[in-house]
């Protein structure tokens, strides 16, 4: 197997098969693992390279929902989640996502620590 074929195969696999995080960033994977199990599995699915055609519309709808957060059912929480999903496919957003993860590592490192309980609200 050639080197490019092996790297392409690793990129297209999810976390379970290759040991790589589905989103490509171990910090994103650490945050996803802190989610409740059903939500974490849904986000893992969306971050898989093969889910691009589901991820892009989902991210766009979440961004629109976040902008319309003044409506009763929608919330501002939808905006960062939608931007994080879109960052997988938009290089300009990927750089911003990396800056946000850098900030989280400096200010809230316990968010990325798997030994901290999930219900820790600080």
pTM of the model: 0.67
- 34-81 pLDDT tens trace: 888 888 888 889 889 899 999 999 999 989 999 998 888 888 888 888
Domain identity same for 85 and 63: no
Domain that holds residue 53: 25-69
Q: How far is CA 6 from the centre of its chain?
A: 24
Residues in CB range of 94: below 8 A, 6 or more apart: 87, 88
Residue 17 in domain? no
Domains of the chain: total: 2
- 76-87 pLDDT tens trace: 888 888 898 899
Residue 16 in domain? no
Residue 122 in domain? no
């Amino acid at each position: 197997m050639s080197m490019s074929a092996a790297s392409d195969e690793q990129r297209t696999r999810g976390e379970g098969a290759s040991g790589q995080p589905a989103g490509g960033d171990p910090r994103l994977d650490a945050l996803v693992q802190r989610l409740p199990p059903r939500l974490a599995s849904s986000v893992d699915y969306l971050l898989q390279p093969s889910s691009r055609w589901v991820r892009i519309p989902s991210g766009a709808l979440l961004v629109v929902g976040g902008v319309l957060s003044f409506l009763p059912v929608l919330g501002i929480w939808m905006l960062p989640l939608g931007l994080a999903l879109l960052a997988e496919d938009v290089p300009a957003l990927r750089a911003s996502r990396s800056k946000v993860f850098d900030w989280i590592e400096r200010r809230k490192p316990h968010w990325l620590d798997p030994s901290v309980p999930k219900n820790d609200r600080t």
